[in-house]
Amino acid sequence: MAGWFCVAVAIVGLALPGLPTTGPLILALACFARGSESLHSWLLNHRFLGPPLQRWEAQRIIPLRAKVVAVSMMIGSLAYVIFVASLRMWALVLVCVLVAVGMIVVLRLPHTLPVREPDE
């Protein structure tokens, strides 16, 4: 159930700015890996969602383009919330904190393979 919930959040996130896509898909992949080999395989071999997940599972990296898009969408959503939406101060602070946490997580994920030192 958790895997399907994450897939649903990711699909909605494709259309709505501010909702994440990559993170929920990685979480869904982990849930399916533990719960259902057929669903794990389906997600990995999905025509649109599969390639980035295959890259994540094989190398633990996300594309730099995905990081740039994610951070840009977070900044755009935050700008909208700050300048257009009329939120109470506590809600505005909460949104800012959540966006900051999201950016830290995304920016800490590797986007290139680490350079290995030659064995001596």
Tell me the pTM. 0.66
pLDDT of residue 105: 83
- For 36-86, the pLDDT digits (tens) are 899 999 999 999 888 888 888 888 888 788 888 888 888 988 898 889 988
Annotated domain spans of the chain:
1-60, 62-112
Mean pLDDT across the chain:
85
Between 116 and 29, name the one with better pLDDT. 29
Mapping DSSP onto H, E and C, the string for the chain reads CHHHHHHHHHHHHHHCCCCCCHHHHHHHHHHHHHHCHHHHHHHHCCCCCHHHHHHHHHHCCCCHHHHHHHHHHHHHHHHHHHHCCCCCHHHHHHHHHHHHHHHHHHHHCCCCCCCCCCCC
